[in-house]
Amino acid sequence: MSYNADEDQIKDKLQQLRCHFTWEFIIEETEMPDLENRVLEEITFLDTKYKVGIHNLLAYVKHLNGQNEEALKSLQEAEDLTQPEHANQSEVRSLVTWGNYAWLHYHMGQPAEAQIYLDKVKNTCRKLTNSSSYRMECPQMDCEEGWALLKCGGKNYERAKVCFEKALEVDPENPEFSTGYAIVVYRLDGFNKTPEISGEFCLDTLKQAVRLNPNDAYIKALLGLKLQDVDQEAEGEKYIKEALTNASSKTYVYRYAAKFYRRKGVLDEALRLSKLALEETPSSAFLHHQTGLCYKSQIIEIKKVTNCQPKGQDKENINRIVPLAIEHFERAVELKPTFEYAYTSLAEMYAEAGDHRKAEETFQKVLCMKSLDNEMLQHIHFHYGRFLEFHKKSEVDAISHYLKAIKIENASIDKDKSINSLTKLASKKLRRNASDIESLSILGFIHKVKGEMNKALECYERALRQAPDLGDVCACDP
């Protein structure tokens, strides 16, 4: 495309648009195949009244993959759906599609065609808001942006939440806005990343969404899972069963029902539902991970029943199940190379199979990933510490990784587990040697982290008595 003043003007106008090309999604390049796969799954298997947005997102993904002609076809599908889905607000809903058309034609070196769609946007903004700009502030646009951010992965969830909140401020009883908000709150609550989102708050948003969308099986399945999270499993199972009897969104309902029954311990049913969903969506990284977790739970159950000493048929069952779990975890990370949880699951199964080299390589691979958040780092350090302690029999290295998890300033389940594991390990070492300075200082540090300052000082003083030349008590901190 030749570069001239007219194109500069077009670029200035394009940057004012509210559409996928200006929403600045955070997407790793390696996540693109998984994102496209999830978008296609949603188009095929999720029964929803709001499919315009997902076709727009597919167009954007196609463009990023260098498939501009395919992107144009997806935008045409979005345009064809706008009138039937949003008859009373088709012009507003068309703004995103027209904006994407304008950007796409610009990137294809077709400035005249881009200008046609810019004019459509400007004329609609003038008609609806008496504004001469190329963007419109309204709840429908906030909602469209929220859905797009939500689909593009966890790094975009906080912004998606803000978009749905803005939309709900204007129209708090809107079923679509409520559904999007409930889903993003549920996912943020699952990540434990937003302090203001409690289990109870998440539960309330899901109940509101179910009230406004009584026929939406997908949102009912999420409500069932959240009720299970807050120890209302019987109530949650009612919603899961209700969702399963609904004909809509079967593949998605199977996924979440499988997760529900796995956590309940009904592993045969969990596996049955996972496999049903996999038949429809064999390229789902999420489902392969969930299926692997079902097999992992079977292994844990056998070990629990046999007091961690499986023999005979129990040992044979574990030997049969471990490769099945590995197969699904390997497929999950192949489909989504940034799937951190799947890497730790895979490393644990390699260790279970006795392949310490592969386990070590897998832990190192995930530890070296870019942009790991604090909670994920804690998760990896805790599970790596377990591997080092119980499989490599390296207490020193295990202590190092438990400490790394604990020292991260972030409250999480894995931080609590690391504290518990480190406490047990230090206590065990003290039983072997009551004068072990490192173990005393570690226990002092743990008490300090827990806010138990008197107990912390007691441990530090004991450590100093063993080595008075250490000086300052703070020097005892590991």
pLDDT digits (tens, 9 = 90+) for 138-148: 999 999 999 99
CB contact set of 238 (below 8 Å; sequence gap of 6+): 224
Q: What's the pLDDT at 89?
A: 64
CB contact set of 251 (below 8 Å; sequence gap of 6+): 41, 45, 277, 280, 281
* CATH 2.40.50.140 fits domain 5-136: no
Tens of pLDDT along the chain (478 residues) come to 445 657 778 999 999 999 999 999 999 999 999 999 999 999 999 988 778 999 999 999 999 999 999 999 999 999 999 875 455 566 888 999 999 999 999 999 999 999 999 999 999 999 888 777 899 999 999 999 999 999 999 999 999 999 999 999 999 999 999 999 999 999 998 876 555 567 789 999 999 999 999 999 999 999 999 999 999 999 999 999 999 999 889 999 999 999 999 999 999 999 999 999 999 999 999 999 999 999 999 999 999 999 999 999 999 999 999 999 999 999 999 999 999 999 999 999 999 999 999 999 999 999 999 889 999 999 999 999 999 999 999 999 999 999 999 999 989 999 999 999 999 999 999 999 998 999 999 999 999 999 999 999 999 999 988 875 554 444 446 7
% helix, strand, coil for the chain, step of 5: 75, 0, 25
Q: What's the pLDDT at 359?
A: 98
Q: What's the pLDDT at 92?
A: 83
Q: What's the pLDDT at 84?
A: 58
Q: What's the pLDDT at 264?
A: 98
* DSSP calls for 149-170: HHHT-GGGHHHHHHHHHHHHHH
Q: What's the pLDDT at 473?
A: 43
Which tens digit of pLDDT belongs to each residue from 397-419? 999 999 999 999 989 999 999 99
Q: What's the pLDDT at 248?
A: 86
Does the CA dihedral 115-120-125-126 come out positive or negative?
positive
* C-alpha distance from residue 101 to each of 3, 24, 240, 292 (Å): 20, 17, 40, 41
| Tokens matching residue 62 | 């196609």
Angle at 103 between CA 14 and CA 31, to 5 degrees: 115
